[in-house]
Amino acid sequence: MKGTYSEDGTVRLRTSVWIDLRALEENYRAIGRLLGPQVGMMCVIKADAYGHGAVEVGRRLESLGAAYFGVATIDEAKELREAGIRSPVLVLGGAMPWEGPELFIEYDLAVAVGNFELLDRIDGFRGGKPLKLHVKIDTGMGRLGFGTGEIPRLLSELTRLQGVEIEGIMSHFSRSERRDDYGLGQVALFAEAVGRFKEKGIEPRLIHMANSAGLCNYPEARFNMVRPGIMLYGSYPGKALCDAVELTPVLTWTASISFVRTFPAGTALSYGGTYVTERDTRVAYVPVGYSHGYPRALSNRGSVLIAGRRCGIVGAVCMDWSFVDVTGVPEAVPGQEVVLLGSAKGAKITADEIAGDVGTIPYEILCGVSKHIKRRHVH
């Protein structure tokens, strides 16, 4: 990494996000070894590849032979196509009422279909070539998809639908982070739905259900394609899965110390005076706060790395500043690199750790890093 310097190494930046595409490749290959050659991967790169930069991530994964990409919206898919990415792309969120089927044909996209309103809009559409559909079955998530009780009507409508290719059938786990009867019930319902499709002569080429946790906890749900997301970026969807596959965090977030002050015992720091010094305390000021996506919930509980040493956040995280106790860390001087997320000299702070500190999930931590911070991709 280049710390907080610009790409040419000449200009000091307030804060930088570095994306290690070599680590991304290692994670992709590690998941592939777990799956074996019979199961393809639909790499989920929605939400700007979970904050890692969808175009650069997509290009690297395409070069590795990724079978498919999954995104949330047609705008995300268009960005990939306009950047020259040609691999198959599925818009997992389907088509909004104001998005016509012709857009999916124009950009050569597949669309997830999970309601009859969308089927009605597709019915009779003639786009010059078949519109690719992935039919979503709701087996217990309660979000998108046809209910299992709607399958008879669904099959009737699909068999008469023209101008489409039913390329895939899919479902989604509700709580795949652990293996339990509920999850096994979802797998059984989905397998039954696949069987009912086949009975009607509808045999989609792609059958997929398992996300990152699901592909680990439910091998029977791998079918012929899985949809890894968070694992590609080096985080685990659950603590119990850390032994399933070895992953390397892809994102490193750095900043620089702006200035340092020393306060006597009894000094209240930051908004609300929630931290009061108990001794003479050196405080480093880091120009990163919640406007950059650094969680305010890390106030008085988070840590950063300075010269490979853990230093605690003191006081409330501000919109543009965080305060760090650097008493006894002589290397902590203006200009010194601060690692907010990543590793240094054998120490590390992961998205999983931060998520645990603030009571959320690593997905939110990674997606929350501000898009205003330029991603610098390391090849």
Task: Inform me whether the pLDDT recorded for 1 exceeds 50.
Answer: no
In percent, the amount of the chain with pLDDT more than 90 equals 87
CA angle 66, 139, 151 (to 5 degrees): 100
Dump pLDDT digits (tens) for 55-92. Answer: 999 999 999 999 999 999 999 999 999 999 999 999 99
Domain-terminating residue out of 209, 238, 267: 238
Q: Which of 28, 46, 136, 233 is catalytic?
A: 46
Total number of domains constituting the chain = 2
**Spatial separation of the C-alpha atoms in residues 273 and 47, rounded to whole Å:** 36
Q: Which of 182, 239, 271, 374 is catalytic?
A: 271
Dump pLDDT digits (tens) for 169-227. Answer: 999 999 999 999 999 999 999 999 999 999 999 999 999 999 999 999 999 999 999 99
Task: Inform me whether the pLDDT recorded for 5 exceeds 70.
Answer: no
**Spatial separation of the C-alpha atoms in residues 303 and 265, rounded to whole Å:** 21
Q: Do 27 and 118 belong to one domain?
A: yes
Query: Coil, strand or helix: which one is 97?
Result: coil
The DSSP code sequence of 148-184 is GGGHHHHHHHHHH--SEEEEEEE---SSTTS--HHHH
Dump pLDDT digits (tens) for 39-61. Answer: 999 999 999 999 999 999 999 99
Q: Do 183 and 90 belong to one domain?
A: yes
Domain-terminating residue out of 217, 238, 259: 238
Amino acid type, 52: H
Q: Do 269 and 172 belong to one domain?
A: no
Q: Do 283 and 233 belong to one domain?
A: no
Q: In this predicted structure, what is the pLDDT of residue 239?
A: 73
Q: Is residue 146 part of a domain?
A: yes
pTM: 0.93
**Spatial separation of the C-alpha atoms in residues 83 and 376, rounded to whole Å:** 17
Phi first, then psi: give them for residue 127, nearest 5 degrees. -110, 10
Q: Is residue 1 part of a domain?
A: no
Q: Do 84 and 216 belong to one domain?
A: yes
Q: Do 51 and 169 belong to one domain?
A: yes
Task: Inform me whether the pLDDT recorded for 378 exceeds 50.
Answer: yes
Q: Is residue 246 part of a domain?
A: no
The DSSP code sequence of 234-287 is T--SSGGGTTTS-----EEEEEE--EEEEE-TT-EESGGG-EE-SS-EEEEEES
Lowest mean pLDDT among 9-23, 259-273, 285-299: 9-23
Q: In this predicted structure, what is the pLDDT of residue 187?
A: 98
**Spatial separation of the C-alpha atoms in residues 278 and 276, rounded to whole Å:** 6
The residues, ordered by sequence, that sit 6+ positions from 7 with a Cβ below 8 Å of its Cβ are 376
Give 12's DSSP letter. B
Q: Is residue 16 part of a domain?
A: no
Q: Is residue 332 part of a domain?
A: yes
Q: In this predicted structure, what is the pLDDT of residue 355?
A: 95
Domain-terminating residue out of 204, 238, 272: 238
**Spatial separation of the C-alpha atoms in residues 107 and 128, rounded to whole Å:** 13
Q: Write out the two tokens for 303.
A: 């840590």
Q: Do 143 and 72 belong to one domain?
A: yes
**Spatial separation of the C-alpha atoms in residues 313 and 289, rounded to whole Å:** 11
List the CATH number of the domain containing 184: 3.20.20.10
Q: Do 264 and 179 belong to one domain?
A: no
Q: Do 61 and 151 belong to one domain?
A: yes
Q: Do 280 and 228 belong to one domain?
A: no
List the CATH number of the domain containing 324: 2.40.37.10
Return mean pLDDT, the chain.
94
Check if 348 is active-site.
no
Q: Is residue 10 part of a domain?
A: no
Query: Residue 65, class by beta-carbon neighbours within 10 Å (0-12 exposed, 13-18 middle, 19+ buried)?
Result: exposed
Q: Which domain holds residue 194?
A: 21-238
Check if 46 is active-site.
yes
Q: Is residue 120 part of a domain?
A: yes
Q: Do 317 and 230 belong to one domain?
A: no
The DSSP code sequence of 273-322 is G-EE-SS-EEEEEES--GGGT--GGGTTT-EEEETTEEEEB-S---SS-E
Q: Is residue 244 part of a domain?
A: no
Q: Do 230 and 276 belong to one domain?
A: no
**Spatial separation of the C-alpha atoms in residues 35 and 314, rounded to whole Å:** 44
Dump pLDDT digits (tens) for 330-357. Answer: 999 999 999 999 999 999 999 999 999 9
Spatial CA neighbour of 174 closest among 146, 211, 202, 206: 211
